[in-house]
């Protein structure tokens, strides 16, 4: 017996049991929750029982260094914080979506040992943001613990640490006009990437291949995009699931536009989706769209031959572009439709490049008075002021919308308003305490202090309110939600002037003249819900702290953490594949199963047909029409409703929206029509990405349609 050794450890048995339970989620979604509780129990066995014990371990760890402010704040408040922790909330997380993400990405470690629990992480973030203000610490923790809001992975992971790079969005112009300029900007990219930040790169003015700059011949866009790809994969310090990304923007007049599109396709096929870090996007002027419609030609130029073209928009851009055409500076002239077809074909093959509309962004931005916005954000979302001395930044957080649906089936707009006020307060604190990776990034904080309040789980809100996504009521409700968020954020930004002062470039901005975001859209908003006229006059008199406030961006990580649908997207399916690779499993939609159980309709036959038809209920008999309509997947919605939702809420989004288009059988005609529709409706983003795939085949007996049990 003395020689006997255990074949398997107790914690390994727990992990195995959790994995087995999760893989039974195709039978009932409760298994996913059970697996999450088993896996969370493993975390609890490994970690200290109290927040104070966790803090002491982390403060003495050699592998984690904390800021002096965090050390002093947590030490001062420690006697009060253990009582605030609500441990039972940790056992409400789903398995793969939340518990494994916490364990593998978010929670701090000392080597292989976990040092904290999810609730401890929330408290660490709360103290890092609010310092010794116990009332504010409690409020932030309560909002996080109750699932009312969440923040970007880099904000949560780095909170309180010496790295302290808590801002995810950076926008950096890459001119490449000298060797030193390239070296400085590449160093800055590396510093941002090291801290897990994401970067949008404006490369429209980067010299084309063969141009002589600073006595050297440029290797062009293709060479520099490979450098960016290496930076994001070789320098990025964070785990793959939370690694930042680099998105390169180019205008369609650049002489290497076709090479740029080819690189988009090459990068897509070279790397698997979860390992990809480099993305491509286009910053399209109205003139190009107009020439496509009219069947005219389009000229391509070397950036060095057309100074000022990238930094102009609207009529000014058109005048310069046509003047350069007349002087014969174009290196190539092609039919505009031919180039557009190449763009659309790239989208059909790879889901990219993203498209943002240069003139629409500049016409509806609160930043244009400070200079032309020359490119967009990492997910076709932000649009920030940049220059050789300023790297745009944006700190963002998300409201978890399903948490605001009351038990009586109504939406609590008052609680939403209060929560957005709290998030706006916290985002400004994050901007203040953040460790900026460069002086140009710090300069952006000084000049504009952009933040982005977004959303998670809009599809679940419509389900809980019993509203079909493709209905006028859903469009109206979504608009009311965004109106509430915009009002709360703008009101709080005005209130915080007493604390932070007016952002320096406020004078001359549309806000300083009384133009709110919906005014720039030339849309009249009544004072029935909120007194916009009073707030407008108050903003003009007092000013605001932040130049931009609302950002509907890609929320992949936040959505996994909360187990809700990404951002404002429709329901992808009622049957989901969760996890990665060998650990993936099929899970059913818990809300649908609950509703069918209430109606006495849940049985083995219905379950098997849901799996067979990939979540579609169109061919399952005896399912009431209202249930079918509420749980329509994105592949079953009436065409155009995704864009109609985007247009309806756009007047309350002062940055932009990461618009994803869906089609089970996308075609060039459909995709082109959809993007043109977005342009004509005045949206700032035409498309962030395209999701296309084989639709469920009702009545099919093919084994390929049935997830393996």
Would the pLDDT of 304 be above 50?
A: yes
Instruction: For residue 6, name the pLDDT band (cuts at 50, 70, 90).
Output: low
pTM: 0.94
Predicted pLDDT at 695: 43
Residue 158, both tokens: 């780095």
HSE-up of residue 462 (Cα within 13 Å, Cβ side): 32
Q: Pick the more confident residue, 185 or 582.
A: 185
Out of 179-183, 336-340, 423-427, 700-704, pick the least confident.
700-704
Average pLDDT over residues 119-139: 97
Asked if 691 and 589 count as a contact pair (C-beta separation under 8 A), the reply is no
Q: Return the bridge partners of 250, or none.
A: 282
Would the pLDDT of 535 be above 50?
A: yes
Predicted pLDDT at 619: 84
Average pLDDT over residues 127-152: 96
Burial class, 672, CB count within 10 angstroms (exposed 0-12 / middle 13-18 / buried 19+): middle
Out of 98-112, 119-133, 664-678, pick the least confident.
98-112
Asked if 587 and 709 count as a contact pair (C-beta separation under 8 A), the reply is no
Average pLDDT over residues 282-297: 97
- DSSP-derived secondary structure letter, 599: T
Q: How far apart are CA 187 and CA 183, in angstroms?
A: 6
- The alpha helices in 84-133, defined as continuous H runs, are 100-101, 118-130
Instruction: For residue 702, name the pLDDT band (cuts at 50, 70, 90).
Output: very low
Predicted pLDDT at 584: 82
Asked if 397 and 151 count as a contact pair (C-beta separation under 8 A), the reply is yes
DSSP E strands, 401-498: 451-456
Instruction: For residue 705, name the pLDDT band (cuts at 50, 70, 90).
Output: very low
- The alpha helices in 465-578, defined as continuous H runs, are 472-495, 497-500, 517-520, 532-542, 556-562
Instruction: For residue 615, name the pLDDT band (cuts at 50, 70, 90).
Output: confident
Would the pLDDT of 580 be above 80?
A: no
Predicted pLDDT at 696: 40
Q: Pick the more confident residue, 561 or 651.
A: 651
Would the pLDDT of 219 be above 60?
A: yes
Would the pLDDT of 496 be above 70?
A: yes
Other CB atoms within 10 A of residue 130 CB: 22
Would the pLDDT of 239 be above 60?
A: no
Residue 94, both tokens: 């789903």
Instruction: Using alpha carbons, select from 127, 122, 191 the residue that is nearest to residue 157.
Output: 122
Would the pLDDT of 321 be above 90?
A: yes
Q: How far apart are CA 313 and CA 186, in angstroms?
A: 27
Instruction: For residue 480, name the pLDDT band (cuts at 50, 70, 90).
Output: very high
The residue whose two tokens read 């923790």 is 141
* DSSP secondary structure, 75-94, as one string: HHHHHHHGGG--GGGGGGS-
- DSSP-derived secondary structure letter, 171: E
Would the pLDDT of 474 be above 50?
A: yes
Equal CATH topology for 171-234+245-366 and 381-571+633-658: yes
Percent of the chain whose pLDDT exceeds 90: 76
Q: For 39-59, how does the pLDDT look when each residue is reduced to its tens digit (9 = 90+)?
A: 999 999 999 999 999 999 999
HSE-up of residue 15 (Cα within 13 Å, Cβ side): 11
Instruction: For residue 294, name the pLDDT band (cuts at 50, 70, 90).
Output: very high
Average pLDDT over residues 641-665: 95
Between 590-598 and 30-46, two packed helices, what is the crossing angle to 10 degrees? Answer: 130
In CATH, 171-234+245-366 is 3.20.70.20: yes
* CATH value of 381-571+633-658 in 3.20.20.70, 3.20.70.20, 3.40.630.30, 3.30.300.30: 3.20.70.20
- The alpha helices in 231-309, defined as continuous H runs, are 257-270, 286-294
Predicted pLDDT at 707: 31
Instruction: Using alpha carbons, select from 225, 271, 218, 223 the residue that is nearest to residue 247.
Output: 225
Residue 249, both tokens: 């923007």
Cα-atom radius of gyration of the chain, to the nearest Å?
26
Would the pLDDT of 706 be above 60?
A: no
Q: How far apart are CA 367 and CA 354, in angstroms?
A: 22
Cα angle value 237/243/244 (rounded, 5°): 110
Q: How far apart are CA 676 and CA 336, in angstroms?
A: 14
Q: Which residues contact 443 (CB under 8 A, 6 or more apart)?
A: 389, 390, 391
Out of 78-92, 163-177, 310-324, 694-708, pick the least confident.
694-708
Other CB atoms within 10 A of residue 422 CB: 19
Instruction: For residue 703, name the pLDDT band (cuts at 50, 70, 90).
Output: very low
Average pLDDT over residues 226-253: 78
Q: How far apart are CA 19 and CA 169, in angstroms?
A: 35
Predicted pLDDT at 679: 98
Residue 213, both tokens: 């700059």
Average pLDDT, the chain: 91
Predicted pLDDT at 38: 94
Of the ranges 375-379, 695-699, 705-709, the best mean pLDDT one: 375-379
What is the three-class DSSP state of 511?
helix
Provide the residue ranges of all domains of the chain, joining segments of one domain with +: 10-146, 171-234+245-366, 381-571+633-658, 573-632
Strands 354-357 and 685-687: antiparallel
Residue 612, both tokens: 């067979």
Q: How far apart are CA 250 and CA 260, in angstroms?
A: 8
Burial class, 50, CB count within 10 angstroms (exposed 0-12 / middle 13-18 / buried 19+): middle
- H/E run at residue 679: helix 668-680
Instruction: For residue 454, name the pLDDT band (cuts at 50, 70, 90).
Output: very high
Average pLDDT over residues 478-489: 98
Q: Is the dihedral of CA 204, 208, 211, 215 positive or negative?
A: positive
């Amino acid at each position: 017996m003395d020689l006997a050794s255990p074949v398997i450890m107790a914690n390994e048995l727990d992990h195995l049991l959790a994995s087995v339970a999760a893989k039974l989620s195709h039978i009932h979604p409760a298994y996913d929750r059970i697996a999450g509780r088993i896996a969370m129990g493993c975390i609890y066995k490994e970690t200290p029982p109290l927040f104070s014990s966790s803090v002491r371990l982390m403060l003495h760890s050699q592998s984690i260094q904390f800021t002096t402010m965090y050390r002093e704040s947590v030490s001062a408040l420690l006697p009060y914080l253990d009582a605030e922790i609500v441990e039972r909330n940790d056992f409400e997380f789903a398995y793969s979506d939340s518990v494994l993400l916490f364990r593998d990405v978010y929670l701090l470690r000392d080597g292989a040992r976990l040092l904290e629990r999810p609730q401890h992480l929330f408290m660490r973030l709360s103290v890092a943001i609010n310092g010794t203000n116990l009332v504010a610490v409690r409020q932030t923790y309560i909002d996080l613990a109750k699932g009312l809001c969440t923040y970007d992975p880099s904000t949560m992971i780095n909170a309180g640490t010496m790295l302290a790079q808590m801002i995810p969005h950076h926008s950096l112009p890459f001119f490449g006009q000298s060797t030193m300029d390239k070296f400085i900007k590449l160093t800055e990219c590396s510093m941002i990437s090291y801290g897990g930040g994401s970067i949008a790169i404006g490369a429209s003015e980067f010299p084309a291949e063969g141009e002589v700059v600073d006595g050297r011949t440029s290797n062009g866009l293709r060479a520099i995009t490979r450098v960016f790809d290496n930076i994001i994969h070789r320098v990025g310090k964070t785990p793959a699931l939370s690694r930042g990304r680099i998105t390169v923007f180019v205008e369609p007049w650049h002489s290497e536009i076709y090479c740029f599109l080819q690189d988009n396709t090459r990068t897509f096929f070279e790397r698997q989706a979860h390992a990809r870090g480099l993305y491509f996007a286009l910053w399209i002027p109205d003139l190009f769209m107009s020439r496509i419609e009219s069947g005219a030609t389009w000229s391509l130029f070397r950036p060095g031959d057309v100074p000022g073209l990238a930094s102009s928009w609207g009529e000014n851009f058109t005048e310069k572009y046509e003047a350069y055409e007349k002087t014969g500076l174009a290196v190539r002239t092609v039919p505009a439709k031919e180039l557009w077809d190449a763009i659309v074909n790239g989208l059909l093959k790879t889901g990219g490049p993203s498209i943002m509309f240069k003139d629409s962004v500049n016409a509806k931005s609160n930043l244009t008075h400070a200079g032309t916005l020359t490119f967009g954000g990492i997910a076709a979302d932000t649009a920030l002021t940049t220059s050789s001395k300023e790297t745009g930044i944006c700190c963002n957080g998300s409201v978890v919308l399903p948490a605001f649906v009351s038990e009586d089936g109504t939406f609590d707009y008052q609680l939403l308003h209060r929560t957005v006020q709290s998030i706006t307060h916290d985002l400004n604190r994050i901007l203040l305490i953040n460790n900026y990776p460069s002086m140009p990034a710090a300069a952006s904080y000084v000049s504009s202090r952009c933040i982005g309040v977004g959303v998670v789980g809009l599809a679940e809100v419509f389900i809980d309110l019993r509203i079909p996504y493709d209905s006028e009521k859903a469009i109206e409700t979504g608009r009311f939600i965004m109106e509430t968020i915009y009002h709360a954020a703008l009101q709080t930004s005005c209130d915080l002037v007493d604390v932070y002062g007016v952002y320096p470039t406020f004078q001359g901005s549309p806000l300083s003249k009384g133009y709110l975001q919906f005014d720039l859209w030339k849309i009249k908003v009544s004072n029935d819900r909120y007194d916009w006229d009073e707030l407008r006059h108050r903003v003009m008199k007092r000013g605001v702290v932040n130049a931009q406030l609302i950002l509907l961006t890609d929320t992949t990580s936040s959505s996994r953490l909360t187990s809700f649908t990404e951002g404002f997207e429709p329901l992808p399916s009622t049957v989901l594949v969760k996890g990665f690779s060998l650990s993936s499993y099929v899970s059913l939609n818990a809300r649908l199963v609950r509703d069918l159980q209430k109606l006495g309709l849940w049985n083995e036959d219905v379950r098997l047909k849901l799996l067979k038809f990939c979540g579609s209920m169109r061919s399952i008999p005896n399912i009431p029409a209202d249930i079918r309509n509420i749980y329509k997947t994105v592949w079953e919605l009436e065409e155009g409703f995704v864009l109609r939702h985007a247009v309806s809420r756009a007047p309350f989004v002062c940055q932009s929206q990461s618009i994803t288009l869906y089609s089970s059988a996308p075609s060039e005609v459909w995709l082109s029509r959809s993007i043109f529709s977005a342009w004509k409706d005045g949206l700032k983003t035409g498309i962030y990405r395209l999701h296309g795939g084989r639709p469920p085949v009702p009545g099919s007996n093919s084994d390929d349609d049935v997830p393996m049990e």
